[in-house]
């Protein structure tokens, strides 16, 4: 019977969260690229037959999927930024005003 993996450090340690975020962003980029490829495919079909309503509907769906993937990337980055800001605020050497330079120093 296989044993469950038990991490030696905290499961939600900073490096693990960053790796998960990186993987999610990579997956979303791939999804966005695929959706745009599908959009181009149906766009070519519409170019040859302007009355092809089914292809037009599929183009619209592909654009929605592309935008959804992009929105997920923004959401992941937003959450990472919030986590970083929280960590900086809790730090004893936290600056009074937060800048991107402060975040770069602490990552």
Mean pLDDT for all residues in the chain: 86
Q: Which residue has the tokens 């009355």?
A: 51
| pLDDT score, position 63 | 96
DSSP 107: -
Measured CA to CA, the distance from residue 103 to residue 83 in angstroms comes to 11
Would you list the domain boundaries of the chain? 16-105
Instruction: For residue range 35-47, list pLDDT tens digits in order.
Output: 999 999 999 999 9
Measured CA to CA, the distance from residue 95 to residue 93 in angstroms comes to 6
Instruction: For residue range 36-83, list pLDDT tens digits in order.
Output: 999 999 999 999 999 999 999 999 999 999 999 999 999 999 988 888
- For residue 73, give the 3-state DSSP assignment: helix
pLDDT of 106 strictly over 70:
no
pTM of the model: 0.69
């Amino acid at each position: 019977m296989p044993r469950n993996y038990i991490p030696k450090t905290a499961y939600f340690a900073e490096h693990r969260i960053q790796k998960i975020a990186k993987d999610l962003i990579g997956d979303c980029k791939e999804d966005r690229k695929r959706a745009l490829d599908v959009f181009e495919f149906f766009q070519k079909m519409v170019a040859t037959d302007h009355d092809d309503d089914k292809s037009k509907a599929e183009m619209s769906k592909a654009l929605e999927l592309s935008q959804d993937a992009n929105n997920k990337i923004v959401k992941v980055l937003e959450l990472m930024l919030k986590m970083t800001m929280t960590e900086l605020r809790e730090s004893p050497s936290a600056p009074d005003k937060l800048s991107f330079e402060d975040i770069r120093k602490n990552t």
